[in-house]
């Protein structure tokens, strides 16, 4: 029933996804703001032949609460701009996809689109993007130009309710992604002609204004950078409810979801299909890949992972909670779970390592070989672009298609 290979991504964030991960034995908490720390992680992930790594980010400082800042000083706080971080990794790697988070609520869509296109050029076709709305009202004061809804504790208990309250921001995010995609298409692939005879560097008939006018902003275009190597860098989003599923089906190539078992995964896949149906998206022409999220602690020794997690829980003073399912066990047990859940209609998984580098190394040197033994994961990269790893075609520029249609 399942012939297609599994796709695997790893979500990199600080010292790992456990709030006390920075206190783990092999953690390097003093190095989180150095390039070397991230280079070691990303090259390890590439060693494991993973499809891509993601870089978390936000325009506000981290918090234990979803909807407002806290003043804790016993957890990792502080972060680097993820697009720049991903770009810093590009020349150090050759195959792995690089997918930074970049905000779409307070930023200029033109700058974000240019930044992701630049990442795609610098990485020779390995860029992705996770557009992220600013869900915290407190982040708006960093810009002083607008306000966003303040979520309540009651909201936070219910993802559907959060989604409804933040719907205007998701609608705006749809516009931002649309602008980015138009800007990426605004130079046709062969726009640069260097025709010395006529003195023309570009064929201006192949560079297009995008003339986007939405409810929140307008962008005239064209892009200032030629079309990225992938044509369209990969757009991905994390979603827990119908409103963000709708955003994903309107705007994204990959959606990360958070089921807690195989049945839950099937239910979410059905919801995503329902959203896609309403948006009129043709999934055959434009596939939407579904990745499930898992927060994992892995050790070859049975029960060692559980002990590790319990120790970190005690350091943090609370049991770990997460939107994603928390898994503790051996790489072999995780392989069993991934292959089981996949049957619910998933294309892959984005795994959040509980601690770094420990759980990443368990993925690359434990889980990956286990999946390879079962014939479920690549044994070598057979493509050089991120779209290539995911078996997604390189789209034509919409503007070249238009011109061909008009002929």
Contact (Cβ atoms closer than 8 angstroms) between residue 25 and residue 354: no
Our finding on whether 147 is near another protein (CB under 8 A) is: no
In whole angstroms, the minimum distance from the beta carbon of 348 to another protein comes to 27
Chain centroid, CA 196 distance in Å: 42
Residue 219 binds another protein, judged by CB under 8 A: yes
Q: Is 43 annotated as a binding residue?
A: no
Which residues in 370-399 contact another protein (CB under 8 A)? Answer: none
- For position 245 contacting another protein by CB under 8 A, the verdict is no
Contact indicator for 278, 246 with CB cutoff of 8 Å = yes
Q: Please give the residues from 223 up to 242 whose contact with another protein meets the rule CB under 8 A.
A: 224-226
Contact flag: residue 218 with another protein (CB under 8 A):
yes
User: Does residue 304 bind another protein (CB under 8 A)?
Assistant: no
The single residue among 142, 157, 307, 373 that binds another protein, judged by CB under 8 A, is: 142
99, two tokens: 């997918």
From 66-74, 262-270, 285-293, 360-368, span contacting another protein (CB under 8 A): 66-74
DSSP state of 247: H
The residue range among 5-13, 67-75, 233-241, 389-397 that interacts with another protein, by the rule CB under 8 A, is: 67-75
CA distances (Å), origin 2, targets 98, 154, 293, 339, 347: 27, 41, 20, 9, 10
Q: What secondary structure letter does DSSP report for 299?
A: -
| Min dist. Cβ of residue 321 to another protein (A) | 19
Site for another protein (CB under 8 A): which residue of 315, 339, 376, 383? 315
The interface with another protein within residues 181-200 (CB under 8 A) comprises 187, 192, 194, 196, 198-200
Determine which residue in the list 26, 74, 153, 402 makes contact with another protein, applying CB under 8 A.
74
Query: Tokens 């050029």 label which residue?
Result: 121
Between strands 212-213 and 128-132, the pairing is unpaired
Contacts of 149 (CB under 8 A, 6+ apart): 137, 165, 166, 169
Helix or strand run (H / E) with residue 192: strand 192-195
Segment 2 to 61, residues that bind another protein, using CB under 8 A: 22-23, 27-37, 39, 58-61
* Residue 175 among known ligand-binding residues: no
Q: Take residue 41 and report the two structure tokens written for it.
A: 């992680």
Binding to another protein (CB under 8 A) within 82-111 occurs at 83-85, 87-92, 106-111
DSSP-derived 3-state class of residue 322: coil
Helix, strand, or coil (residue 165): helix
């Amino acid at each position: 029933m399942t012939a297609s290979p599994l796709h695997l991504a790893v979500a990199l964030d600080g010292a790992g996804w456990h709030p006390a991960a920075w206190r783990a034995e092999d953690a390097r908490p003093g190095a989180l703001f150095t390039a070397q720390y991230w280079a070691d992680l990303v090259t390890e992930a590439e060693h494991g032949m993973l499809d891509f790594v993601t870089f978390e980010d936000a325009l506000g400082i981290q918090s234990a609460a979803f909807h407002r800042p806290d003043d804790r000083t016993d957890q990792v706080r502080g972060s680097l701009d993820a697009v720049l971080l991903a770009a810093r990794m590009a020349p150090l790697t050759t195959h792995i996809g690089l997918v930074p988070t970049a905000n779409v609520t307070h930023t200029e869509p033109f700058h974000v689109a240019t930044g992701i296109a630049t990442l795609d050029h610098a990485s020779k076709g390995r860029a992705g993007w996770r557009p992220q709305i600013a869900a915290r009202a407190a982040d708006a004061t960093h810009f002083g130009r607008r306000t966003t809804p303040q979520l309540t504790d009651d909201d936070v208990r219910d993802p559907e309710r959060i989604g409804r309250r933040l719907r205007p921001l998701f609608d705006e995010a749809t516009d931002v992604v649309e602008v980015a995609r138009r800007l990426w298409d605004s130079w046709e692939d062969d726009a640069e002609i260097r025709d010395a005879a006529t003195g023309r560097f570009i064929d201006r008939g192949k560079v297009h204004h995008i003339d986007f006018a939405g409810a929140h902003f307008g962008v005239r275009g064209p892009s200032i950078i030629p079309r990225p190597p992938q044509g369209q860098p990969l757009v991905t989003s994390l979603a827990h409810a119908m409103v963000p599923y709708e955003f994903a089906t309107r705007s994204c190539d990959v959606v990360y979801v958070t089921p807690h078992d195989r049945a839950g995964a099937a239910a979410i896949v059905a919801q995503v299909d329902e959203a896609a149906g309403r948006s009129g998206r043709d999934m055959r022409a434009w596939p939407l890949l579904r990745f499930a999220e898992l927060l994992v602690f892995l050790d070859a020794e049975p029960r060692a992972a559980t002990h590790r997690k319990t120790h970190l829980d005690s350091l943090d003073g609370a049991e770990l909670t997460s939107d994603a399912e928390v898994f503790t066990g051996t790489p072999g047990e995780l392989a069993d779970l991934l292959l089981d859940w996949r049957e619910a209609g998933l294309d892959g998984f984005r795994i959040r390592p509980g601690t770094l580098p420990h759980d990443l190394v368990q993925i690359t040197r434990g889980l990956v070989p286990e999946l390879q033994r079962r014939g479920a994961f690549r044994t070598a990269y057979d493509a050089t672009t991120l779209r290539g790893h995911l078996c997604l075609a390189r789209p034509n520029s919409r503007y070249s298609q238009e011109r061909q249609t008009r002929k």
